[in-house]
Amino acid sequence: MTSTELTATSSGTSGTSLRIPGPATPYQGDIARYWDGEARPVNLRLGDVDGLYHHHYGIGEVDHAALGDAEDSESEKKLIAELHRLESAQAEFLLGHLGDIGRDDTLVDAGCGRGGSMVMAHQRFGCKVEGVTLSAKQAAFANNRARELRIQDHVRARVCNMLAMPFATGEAAASWNNESSMYVDLQDLFAEHARVLGVGGRYVTITGCWNPRYGQPSKWVSQINAHFECNIHSRREYLRAMADNRLVPQAVVDLTPDTLPYWELRATSSLVTGIEDAFINSYKDGSFQYLLIAADRV
């Protein structure tokens, strides 16, 4: 594993230089460059609603009363606020499956993005939250936001490879991937989560996965892979890799019906990116599923 050095700037990750693990493969280097250069307005405009910046999708029924009249001059602003409410509801649902977390515990967000879920986790549990991302741009954003909220002593993002996290064996009480597991090999990923989790610790993922009952990844799943430069796994692969790495599922929740309203609403907004139809069609034809899996480390 090579190392690179991240030097802080006014918008950097800290007041000192940090020695960090670099990407393990050329592909991960490509992913780091992808997210460092990502400039779609959707995540920032949604996060601007209340300062929680996510990199995932939403669940729940749309509150049409909150949207108001489509002819209202504030209609687009209200629609964006509603999309963001559904995003945060998704994060709350994930955090609700982490189990009994105390103020002295450490949580790990693998693939933390701009840090919205880390902030929510600290606000909910009062504990330390460590995030990892391949993107220096995302880590700098997350750490700057933690300083703005004066929680930098409890919430931190690091630029590193989630397959070789800089945490001691058994250090974490719980860990999660929120729509970030499609960028790595699942056997390697779950082996690393099993290492950093203490025995009895909880791992949770929310992810899109292709449905083995469909037979093979559909054309819609292939479009999503190409759009995000990722490799979506099957539901079967998740469960097999967990079993191989001492992670025993305690809950498997199909969130597909719960995420469709988010996508159908987003498709009517100014934030469309061109991938909305692939999500909607694949969820409807059953080739793609949106799952939460919570597992205990044994």
The CATH number that applies at residue 190 is 3.40.50.150
- Does residue 226 lie in a domain region? yes
- Does residue 165 lie in a domain region? yes
Query: CA 22 to CA 42: how far, in whole Å?
Result: 28
- Does residue 1 lie in a domain region? no
Contact 176, 47 (CB under 8 A): no
Q: Which residues of 22-32 are buried (b: 16+ CB within 10 A; e: fewer)?
A: bbbeeebeebb
Note the pTM of the prediction, 2 decimals: 0.91
- Does residue 277 lie in a domain region? yes
Backbone angles phi, psi at 137, to 5 degrees: -65, -45
List average pLDDT for each run of 10 residues in the chain, which is 298 residues long: 34 39 77 85 85 94 90 87 96 98 98 96 98 95 97 96 95 98 97 98 98 96 95 98 98 98 95 95 98 98
- Does residue 20 lie in a domain region? no
- Does residue 238 lie in a domain region? yes
Residue 39: count of CB within 10 angstroms of its CB: 5
Domain count, the chain: 1
The pLDDT value recorded for residue 18 is 39
The pLDDT value recorded for residue 22 is 59
- Does residue 239 lie in a domain region? yes
Range of the domain at 107: 28-297
- Does residue 128 lie in a domain region? yes
The DSSP element (H or E) to which 136 belongs, if any, is: helix 136-148
